Amino acid sequence: MVMRWSAAAACLILTSALADPPVALNAPILDIHGDVVVFGCDDLAPGTVVELYAPDDKELAGPVVARVQVVEVRDSKAIGRRLSGAVERGVRPRTVARPLPVSRLRVRLTKLPDERGVRPRIVASALDLVRAALARRPGVRLVEGEDPADAILAVGSAEEGIRMRLTSPDGAMLAEATAAEADPALDRVLPSLDRQAARKRLAELANPAPPFQLTLRDPRGEAPLYHYGEAMQLEVTASQACHVVLLALGSEGRLTILLPNALRPSTAVTAGETVALPDPAWGFKFQAGPPTGEQLIKAVATRRPLDLPELRCDDLGERRFRRLEPAEVAGFLERLGKALVTSRVRDFDVVADDAWVAGEVRVRIAE
């Protein structure tokens, strides 16, 4: 039996962060004003929680002398507020929790070269409508001037009415629509915009300090290319006991939850265990199939199981795997992010560094 599938995974090994002794953060304390602590570091996001150890504690093994949360970053400095303990100069800092990365697709709005048939005032009105719609769109952020953009949405006139073109920064066409009114033209472009936003959000879901090793293997090695009909195999191994969720986002915007599934509803993986997908006992193979393009595979391993309705398998019926349509992906990724949160510190939802690992691989599917 063959099961058609349009995603695979290459070899990925996430480096272990806790196999070796914890490493102090290169962020000297520049100043202390009461509960305000200034670090000489600009790569700590607001919300990051930092533990401080005694100056002579080179292994960072002793008691924590203080905890500080970063609330602002400016002028190559991270400004934090004391959460507990006493802060002194010379202490050794290390991060223990960070805000969950919530990326947005950066979109630049521009004008197309003018064509006859539509008055400039109508084009200006269409631009205002698009700007207002994008400002309300989850996962999208408008950028101005020279700020880098992930996509460019150009609006202009055509003989038929309003024309819109969505392109990548290098000019590749992502979507194009022409309609008598701006609303229907925008409705035809938004699905592609949402696909790009979901791909970026899933790709940027990462822990910069992974607490254990997670390995994804494909027999073809790194960055494999599969043609229609070729069999695919995926293996997952974790160095510590954890719960693993595997997600495959296709080029058309659909997301397949590979693990858990109807045949293996549990996400639990023991230390050193290799989970094969598909398992030889299942009696079928994954087979590369349409659409062509790049597939993004994301592995999220956590200390505790994630409680999400999409990860339950008792309602799959005859289906082996749950597939989400493009319109459902953004909501699922939002819930996935919230499920990863381990605590709320002041006004920030944060995830403990030692609570999760995430990594990705990309493959190409061709005819």
Q: What is the pLDDT of residues 324-351, one digit of tens each?
A: 998 889 889 989 988 988 888 878 888 8
**Residue 69 · residue 48 · CB < 8 Å:** yes
Distance (Å, rounded) from C-alpha 225 to C-alpha 202? 21
Residue 21 falls within a domain, yes or no?
A: no
Instruction: Return the pLDDT at 249.
Output: 93
When pLDDT is cut at 50, 70 and 90, the band that residue 43 belongs to is: confident
Q: For the whole prediction, is pTM greater than 0.85?
A: no
Rg (CA), the chain: 24
Distance (Å, rounded) from C-alpha 40 to C-alpha 23? 17
**Residue 299 · residue 260 · CB < 8 Å:** no
Q: Which of 160, 178, 203 is the last residue of a domain?
A: 203
Q: Which of 99, 128, 151 is the last residue of a domain?
A: 99
Tell me the average pLDDT across 5-26. Answer: 45
The string of pLDDT tens digits covering residues 141-192 is 999 888 899 999 999 888 888 999 999 999 999 999 999 999 999 999 999 9
Tell me the average pLDDT across 130-146. Answer: 88
SS3 367: coil
Question: Does 362 lie in the same domain as 218?
Answer: yes
Q: Of 17-26, 114-123, 228-237, 353-362, give the lowest mean pLDDT range.
A: 17-26
pLDDT at 19 over 80: no
The string of pLDDT tens digits covering residues 51-100 is 999 999 988 888 999 999 999 999 889 999 999 999 988 899 998 888 87
Instruction: Return the pLDDT at 22.
Output: 60
Question: Does 140 lie in the same domain as 122?
Answer: yes
The string of pLDDT tens digits covering residues 241-277 is 999 999 999 988 999 999 999 999 999 999 999 998 8
Distance (Å, rounded) from C-alpha 155 to C-alpha 115? 11
Lookup result for tokens 């990594």: 359
**Residue 61 · residue 1 · CB < 8 Å:** no
Beta-bridge partners for 300:
245, 358
pLDDT at 201 over 50: yes
Q: Which of 168, 203, 238 is the last residue of a domain?
A: 203
The string of pLDDT tens digits covering residues 274-313 is 998 888 888 888 888 888 888 888 889 999 999 999 999 9
Distance (Å, rounded) from C-alpha 143 to C-alpha 158? 25
SS3 305: coil
Instruction: Return the pLDDT at 30.
Output: 92
**Residue 41 · residue 24 · CB < 8 Å:** no
Torsion (CA) 73, 74, 77, 82 in degrees, nearest 10: -40
CA-angle at 13, arms to 16 and 343, nearest 5°: 50
Question: Does 238 lie in the same domain as 114?
Answer: no
Alpha carbon of 189 to those of 113, 130, 133, 154, 193: distances in Å?
Answer: 18, 11, 12, 11, 7
Residue 267 falls within a domain, yes or no?
A: yes
> In which domain, by residue range, is 43 found?
29-99
